[in-house]
Chain A
């Protein structure tokens, strides 16, 4: 990896300027980029390390909303008690990525922008309704997480744009989220399928809002609106969950590869979405009990 320049800008403006140079690449934790450089898949001329930009590795709470810096490590997320309590699904998803060592560096921003279809944190962020704060040469914009990935390794970020933070809305009362993934072992593997669900209940336990997202069953993580709609108005009874499964299976369009066949992935996506929905519901109910 010789011939690569390294820059660690101390401000967003400096980072945006540096990234407009041909051959510049953003680095947060580096756990994907440095591997890709090592195997020669990418050959940047300049690595722009974001971690010295103030706030970019931090997590803060503002009136119940959370702002998670794009470069905050998985370990930092796991240690943030308020975040873990408010959005356990997101933290669990982030903490499933790689080993303890990887958790010390890997970030939500990198997981999203690396744009792997199997990125664990992405379905959880989409289910939670998280948005991305992006800054570029033409100013700042904020878009939903599901608007970023367009295919493996490809995003809608323009030249010079930097993902600064994720914004999680103030959570409605009686809301719970969950993320589940299937791998054939217990640790250190890439999702065969992942499913994130977030549900909001009313005081009687009826579902009034739901978002369902699945990963590794299409070129990008999918927001399955029909699956969320299948839960709304129900108490997540068996009929509603069967409809959710059907909606997820209909939306899935996986490939067959060494991790699983398309048929297997489609089946598992439906099952995981059902199980995640039930965990999210239980959390939403407890959320009510505590309030």
Chain B
């Protein structure tokens, strides 16, 4: 099997790795780059545990081939906190206890970030529809939605004070 060299920017850092033609971006992130925060729940794009942001678009890393990452900017859960300072979304997920086992949490956080990046003041309905592709089987969604709404308010406040 031939492997190709892929150059991409992951969480702001240029990276170079070898990718198999049929390897998923998720496998490359986890096995080649050792970024194991993105999880594989289903491997078929149904659960959202592998959600990452590629050139500003939220995607399932399991439904993208690793060689497609050439030249792309990729954001993963590992880049969400800023030098050890939790992102407001992470902070509010903790405040609301919006997780139990935590397997879906990286995906939920990245999906929520993608939402707030483009819509800083979403309604609860918008949050619920946006996150429909992120499946949680233990906490349920109510605390997650409240955490996202509060994080959005925090971010708006931060924006004002800057």
Contacts and interface: CB of A to CB of B under 8 A. Distances in A.
Interface of A: 1-6, 8, 27, 30-31, 34-35, 37-39, 46-47, 49, 51, 73, 75, 98-102, 104-105, 186-188
A104 B65 contact: no
25 contacts: A1-B20, A3-B22, A4-B20, A5-B2, A5-B21, A6-B19, A6-B21, A27-B65, A31-B45, A34-B45, A35-B44, A46-B21, A47-B65, A99-B132, A99-B133, A100-B111, A100-B133, A101-B51, A101-B60, A101-B133, A102-B63, A104-B54, A187-B133, A188-B46, A188-B133
- The interface centre, meaning the residue of B46, B62, B63, B114 with most chain A CB atoms within 10 A of its CB, is B63
A6 B65 contact: yes
B120 interface: no
Interface in B83-104: none
Interface in B10-34: 19-24
B45 A6 contact: no
A101 B45 contact: yes
Given A2-B22, A101-B58, A34 B65 contact: yes
B43 interface: yes
B124 interface: no
B116 interface: no
Interface of B: 1-2, 4, 19-24, 43-46, 48, 51, 54, 57-60, 62-65, 67-68, 70, 111, 114-115, 129-134
A98 B133 contact: yes
A4 B131 CA distance: 32
A101 B44 contact: no
Contacts of B22: 1-4, 6, 37, 47
Nearest to B71: A52
Given A3-B22, A39-B44, A104-B58, 18 more contacts: A1-B22, A6-B65, A31-B63, A34-B45, A34-B63, A34-B64, A34-B65, A46-B21, A73-B57, A75-B57, A99-B48, A99-B134, A100-B114, A100-B133, A101-B51, A101-B58, A101-B63, A101-B111
Contacts of B67: 6, 8, 49
Contacts of A1: 20, 22-24
A101 B38 CA distance: 14
Nearest to B57: A104
Contacts of A8: 67-68, 70
A188 B57 CA distance: 19
Contact of B129 (A2, A30, A35, A187): A187
A98 B4 contact: no
Given A31-B45, A49-B68, A102 B133 contact: yes
A104 B2 contact: no
Contacts of B63: 30-31, 34-35, 101-102, 105
A75 B60 CA distance: 14
A47 B45 contact: no
Nearest to A1: B22
B111 A49 contact: no
Contacts of A30: 63-65, 68
A73 B58 CA distance: 12
Contacts of B2: 5
A176 B134 CA distance: 34
A38 B65 contact: no
B68 A2 contact: no
A3 B22 CA distance: 7
A39 B46 CA distance: 14
Contact of B1 (A2, A35, A39, A101): A2
Contacts of A101: 45, 48, 51, 58-60, 63, 111, 133
Contacts of A99: 45, 48, 132-134
Nearest to A105: B59
Contact of B130 (A51, A100, A102): A100
Contact of B43 (A2, A38, A100, A187): A38
